[in-house]
Chains A and B, each alone.
Chain A
Amino acid sequence: EAGVAQSPRYKIIEKRQSVAFWCNPISGHATLYWYQQILGQGPKLLIQFQNNGVVDDSQLPKDRFSAERLKGVDSTLKIQPAKLEDSAVYLCASSSQTGQPQHFGDGTRLSIL
């Protein structure tokens, strides 16, 4: 089966600019997650969707980050405006409703200048 697809693979922007990341989960996976991974640390959950509804966005900095999953399949994560501390890898993961392990994409590496 095809894995979790993410794009772009790399992105460089200046602070205060906006950026968007795209994720296509594994077909049929109802749950989608966005994680942020800062260099040297493990991934940290930003937001979790069940179909097109938000399950947990308690760790999402809502003043600058937003995410949507309009049709319960693809998802986009946006940062506006970006800060230097947003430099990180943004990982998307998906899982089925049967409790099977999460599968991760290879992430988008964001660098803020």
Chain B
Amino acid sequence: DAKTTQPTSMDCAEGRAANLPCNHSTISGNEYVYWYRQIHSQGPQYIIHGLKNNETNEMASLIITEDRKSSTLILPHATLRDTAVYYCIVRPPQAGTALIFGKGTTLSVSS
């Protein structure tokens, strides 16, 4: 079973920041938090991952709480193309470990 809890759905206005929360209260000390998204009729797309520190890349920012029990994915300026299902996944550090997906959060961006 997935080790994360996410809201089923969220709405965001185009141009505004989208903040997607994830709860992973049972995370182990060496497990990473990964975020993927899946746009309709496409395969999941990697967004970002982190262990303890906050991370930022060209797609998003990841904020992990100090106790590591929750995190937030931030899309700073959401566009219509960001409409997708967003998955928060906890993953052991061993290379090649398969991903365990939950149901994710459906983000709807509207104009």
Contacts and interface: CB of A to CB of B under 8 A. Distances in A.
Interface in B88-109: 93-96, 98-104
B46 A101 contact: yes
Interface in B14-42: 34, 41-42
Nearest to B95: A99
Contacts of A87: none
Contacts, number: 54
Interface residues of B, number: 21
A43 B95 contact: no
Interface residues of A, number: 28
B27 to A, nearest CB: 18
16 contacts: A31-B96, A33-B98, A40-B103, A42-B103, A42-B104, A43-B99, A45-B99, A48-B96, A48-B98, A55-B96, A98-B95, A104-B45, A105-B43, A106-B41, A106-B43, A107-B43
